[in-house]
């Protein structure tokens, strides 16, 4: 199985777009997205220095715009992607790229959202002096305990040996003076404590805009960086895109879901390297490909062909599928087990996972065509559970 991932803020480096812009088609598409975002992405990706592209208002649109255009370079005909990509995911702001790749939202909607996201997060960061520090190594439980002891938030949990603490600069200084044993601290050059309560004002702003965004249910399963769940509901994807601004990124759980799905290959969109580096440490035996420059495109397509098996969800106009959000044991709801027709939004059951029960709903409702699992069956993330015939469709 092939999973496509998109990196978050911090992956950009000065001049990284230079080789890509030698292609007139790439340059034209980037110019279009620049117009939507109101930022000259080509200029910042080629001529701006490290301090300039570190600015949240610039970095976020630059990352999203680059990855979106690079996807079209990789799959000139988007339908080719649907036949090869098994799932998509994005770290932090990269989840907007994943949402577009899954067809939950459009590229233009993503660029408007990332423009406003970057501006609002920069404003929130300016309100209080905050920052982030990477914690490398150490015992996981001791690291998390130390972060909590100092009133910080584990804003990014990126997998074995890499957790990012975030909070006020005063809290981070105290953390530096009293670090967890056998751990190395590395302050990050970011404007604020992203993915923490300090970003709450930005959530409110983007949420108001999101009310006007139309969505579609993903054609490719999207792995949410909030909890690693597979999401196949367009409105839920949008809701999570908004909420993750002030919620920790659980990339460790995304990696667990990829393993549960049976991933064999992970391809990272440019500017690539960060997420494939994490995957190499966390998912032994899984091949990775960091797409950094356009001269790698032929090799990248061969990588996709080697690992591609297509989406777990084969969407057609005549029926809809309800899928499992996570790995666990599926329990069919008593009220729907023998029903022939289901109302929109009805809960069809739950997935029991690590002591929690995750509700599963049939968002659109419809006539039951067939149950694809039985009560008590173990299920994998993204596994089809129920096939429904939409009401009113012949």
Contact (Cβ atoms closer than 8 angstroms) between residue 91 and residue 5:
yes
The Cα-based distances of 16 to 9, 60, 294 in angstroms read: 14, 15, 11
Q: Report the alpha-carbon angle 103-1-229, nearest 5.
A: 55
Among the listed residues 44, 91, 150, 195, the single catalytic one is 195
Q: Greatest CA span in the chain, whole angstroms?
A: 68
Is the Cα torsion angle 187, 95, 33, 115 positive or negative in sign?
negative
CB atoms within 10 A of CB 2: 24
Burial class for 359, CB neighbours closer than 10 Å (0-12, 13-18, 19+): exposed
DSSP annotation string for 308-369: ----S---BTTBEEEE-SSSEEEEE-TTTTT-SEE-TTEEEEEEEETTEEEEEEESS-EEEE
Q: Could you confirm whether 92 is annotated as catalytic?
A: yes
Q: Which single residue is written with the structure tokens 């792995």?
A: 223
- Choose, from 34, 92, 247, 311, the residue flagged as catalytic: 92
- The radius of gyration of the chain from alpha carbons, rounded to an integer in Å, stands at 21
Q: Is 324 a catalytic residue?
A: no
Q: Are strands 384-389 and 320-323 parallel, antiparallel or unpaired?
A: antiparallel
C-beta of residue 218 within 8 angstroms of C-beta of residue 234 = yes
Cβ atoms of 136 and 161 closer than 8 Å: yes
- Strands 130-137, 183-187: pairing is antiparallel
Sheet of strand 222-223: strand arrangement: 230-231, 222-223, 85-90, 2-6, 265-268, 287-290
Point out the residues that are catalytic: 92, 195
């Amino acid at each position: 199985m092939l999973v496509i991932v998109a990196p978050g803020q911090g992956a950009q480096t000065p001049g990284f777009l230079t080789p890509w812009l030698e292609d007139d088609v790439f340059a034209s598409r980037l110019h279009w997205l620049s117009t939507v975002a109101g930022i000259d992405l080509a200029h910042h990706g080629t001529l701006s220095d490290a301090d300039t592209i570190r600015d949240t208002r610039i970095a976020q649109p630059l990352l999203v715009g680059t990855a979106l255009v690079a996807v079209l370079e990789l799959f000139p005909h988007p339908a080719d992607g649907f036949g090869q990509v098994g799932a998509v995911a994005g770290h932090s702001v990269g989840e907007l790229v994943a949402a577009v790749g899954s067809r939950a939202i459009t590229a233009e909607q993503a660029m408007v959202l990332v423009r406003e996201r970057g501006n609002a997060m920069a404003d929130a960061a300016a309100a209080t002096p905050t920052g982030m520090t990477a914690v490398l190594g150490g015992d996981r439980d001791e690291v998390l305990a130390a972060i909590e002891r100092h009133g910080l938030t584990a804003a990014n949990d990126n997998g074995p040996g890499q957790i990012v603490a975030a909070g006020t600069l005063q809290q981070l200084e105290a953390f530096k003076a009293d670090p967890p044993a056998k751990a190395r601290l590395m302050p990050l050059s970011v404007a604020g404590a992203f993915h923490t309560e300090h970003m709450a004002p930005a959530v409110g702003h983007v949420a108001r805009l999101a009310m006007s965004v139309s969505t579609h249910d993903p054609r490719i399963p999207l792995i949410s960086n909030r909890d690693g769940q597979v999401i196949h509901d367009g409105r839920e994807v949008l809701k999570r895109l908004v909420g993750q601004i002030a919620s920790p990124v659980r990339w460790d759980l995304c990696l667990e879901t990829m393993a549960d799905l049976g991933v064999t290959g992970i391809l990272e969109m440019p500017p690539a390297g960060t997420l494939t580096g994490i995957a190499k440490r966390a998912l032994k035996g899984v091949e990775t490909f960091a797409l950094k420059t356009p001269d790698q495109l032929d090799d990248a397509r061969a990588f996709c062909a080697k690992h591609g098996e297509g989406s777990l969800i084969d969407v057609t106009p005549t029926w809809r599928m309800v899928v499992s959000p996570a790995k666990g044991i599926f329990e069919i709801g008593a009220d729907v087990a023998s029903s022939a027709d289901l109302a929109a939004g009805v809960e069809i059951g739950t997935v029991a996972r690590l002591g929690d029960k995750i509700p599963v709903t049939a968002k659109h409702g419809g006539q039951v065509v067939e149950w694809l699992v039985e009560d008590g069956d173990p299920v994998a993330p993204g596994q089809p559970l129920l096939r429904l015939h939409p009401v009113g469709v012949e």
